[in-house]
Structure 1
Amino acid sequence: MIRPALLLALLALPACSPGLPEVARPQQPGQIASRDASGPPDAAPGTCWGRDETPARLQTITEEIIVTPAVLDADGNVTTPAVTRTESRQEIVEERQELWFETPCPNSFTPDVVASLQRALKARGRYEGEITGTLNTATRSAIRDYQKPQGLNSSVLSLTAARQLGLVAIAVPANPA
């Protein structure tokens, strides 16, 4: 039987450890900004940006290392078996990747625009929720579902996707060739 004092000490133990590393939190409904909206160093002033990060993929390699080789007699029989140790190491299989992408600016996400976004995603079979005009979890999931086949695994709407969905005007060159 566990004593109450021991149980209490075990429950309090996590409070003594240093805080966990900060990780990206899922954005709350109605929140538009990406984790770092400042954009890449060459971003044009007045533009808004999102960032997609893919962590590095690691592979653990385990090897048996011979410390002392086996000893054989004249007939080739093992008199003393080999002594080995197991060594493990990690290697990077795929480097960490960071992708910046332009986004519509947060002030453009009015309830009417978000409702249009939900209708556009619904028309493409990506959104199954109610048309609420709020950027909720279901809408963000649908945005990710829409953008993922295009190589952008993000719930932050890219400017390219917004144009494809008819939410943002497509810039026409002043002097068409």
Structure 2
Amino acid sequence: MTRSTTLFLMAGLLLSACKTPGSYVPEAPSRANLSAELIRLDSPGPPPGPEGACWASDITPLVVETVSEQIMVAPEKIGPDGAVISPARFRTETQQRIVQEREEIWFRVPCSHDWNVDFVATLQRALKARGYYLLPVTGGYDAPTRDAVHRFQIERGLDSPQLSLAAARELGIVAADRARL
């Protein structure tokens, strides 16, 4: 055995001895399911919620499915020798159906008194660090910032450009709710 092979084997043995059974292995952070935080109401207005909670509503989009189907109008005609005299004829029939109705949803949001230039700049930096916001940090909740928030949230089940409290928590820009820990 060469000296380098021996050193490599010894290093491997030393490293394997460092791991003890039952030792903690950290996991990558998971994505929050923001759709679990949505509230659908039968009556107008925000949900009765915890005191001091701030709410926003949005309208989910109508989802329509279009299905096109080929319907045979006339079958093919085959001659006595097996040759095709005339091919089959088809027509296209298209139908649409509603898969999901438009509806109002409610979700918790950071309260308006928390929204200032520093808060929005922190939001932009958090989105920028994750690759959602690519422009310079301005501290203004402008169209590019709303678009970045929307893309961040839609991947997590909330189709809205309004920043939800759950998304703000996942981004690390608001404190976690102790009651949820």
TM-score of the two chains, using structure 2 as the length reference? 0.54
Q: Indicate yes or no: 2:95 matched with 1:90.
A: yes
Note closer, same or farther for the CA distance 1:49–1:96 as it changes in structure 2 (3 Å cut): same
Change (3 A) 1:66 1:138: closer
Q: Does 1:122 align with 2:128?
A: yes
Question: What count of residue pairs does the alignment treat as equivalent?
Answer: 133
Quote the RMSD (CA, aligned, Å).
3.7
Give the alignment partner of residue 58 of structure 1, picking from 54, 58, 65.
65
The structure with more helix, counted as a fraction of residues: 2
Aligned residue in 2 for 1:44:
48
Residue-by-residue CA offset, 1:115-154 (whole Å, 9 max, x unaligned): 1111111222221212111101111121122222212232
- Conserved? CA contact 2:109–2:165, under 8 Å: yes
Deviation at 1:109, TM superposition (A): 1.6
Alpha-carbon distance, 1:53 to partner:
1.2
Instruction: Return the offset for 1:95.
Output: 1.5
Counterpart selection for 2:163 from 153, 157, 162: 157
Could you tell me which amino acid in structure 2 is paired with residue 53 of structure 1? T
For structure 1, the 5+ residue unaligned runs are: 1-38, 70-74, 76-80
Aligned partners of 1:114, 1:90: CA distance in 2, in Å? 45
Query: Counterparts of 1:100 and 1:154 in 2: how far apart (Å)?
Result: 11
2:144 is the counterpart of 1:134? no
**Which of 142, 150, 153 matches 1:144?**
150
What do the CA deviations read for 1:39-58 (whole angstroms, capped 9, x no partner)? 74381255312325132222
Contact 2:55 2:106 in 1 (8 A): no
Counterpart secondary structure, 2:58: strand
Identical aligned pairs, as a percentage? Answer: 33
**What is the one-letter code of the residue matched to 1:167?**
I
Classify 1:63/1:160 alpha carbon distance in 2 versus 1 (closer, same or farther; 3 Å).
same
Give the conservation status (yes or no) of the 8 Å contact 1:101–1:158. yes
Letter of the 1:103 counterpart? V
Residues 153, 40 of structure 1: CA spacing in aligned structure 2 closer, same or farther, 3 A cutoff?
closer
In 1, Cα distance between equivalents of 2:125 and 2:90: 61
Look up the match of 1:172.
178
| CA distance 1:107–1:40, shift in 2 (3 Å) | farther
Give ranges in structure 2 of 5+ residues lacking alignment. Answer: 1-38, 81-85
Tell me the TM-score normalised to structure 1 length: 0.55
**Partner SS, residue 57 of structure 2:** strand
Residues 57 and 107 of structure 2 are in contact (CA less than 8 Å); yes or no, is this contact kept in structure 1? yes
Q: Deviations over 1:15-57 (max 9, x none)?
A: xxxxxxxxxxxxxxxxxxxxxxxx7438125531232513222
